[in-house]
Amino acid sequence: MPNNASAKKRVRQTGKRRLENRIVKTRYRGATKKLLLALDNQEPAERVESLLSEAYAALDSAAKKGAIHKNQASRRKSRLASRVKALSQENR
């Protein structure tokens, strides 16, 4: 329980930030999950490319807003791209 004004303010700030970050993180996790499901179901390349673009946008947005670190966003994007590439090579 906060005892002084600055501690009370800090509790309010962290609560707001936690909610905002949760929304942003849910968005990129959902986009990533859609992409991975599309890859598992071997959906058409156009659909996969659009989902990859969506996931990139969500990750970039999360990094810009500070919900995740820019290097984490970059790492996640790289891993998604490599999975897409591997499956496209496999389907040839």
Domain boundaries, the chain: 5-90
More confident residue, 89 or 50: 50
Fold of the domain built from segment(s) 5-90:
Methane Monooxygenase Hydroxylase; Chain G, domain 1 (1.20.58)
The reported pLDDT for the residue numbered 23 is: 97
Above 90 in pLDDT, residue 63? yes
Q: Which residues contact 63 (CB under 8 A, 6 or more apart)?
A: 69, 70, 72, 73, 74
Average pLDDT, the chain: 94
What is the share, in percent, of the chain residues with pLDDT greater than 90? 89
Evaluate whether 69 touches 87 at the Cβ level (below 8 Å). no
What pLDDT score does 92 carry? 63
Q: What is the pTM of this model?
A: 0.87
**Does residue 65 carry a pLDDT above 70?**
yes
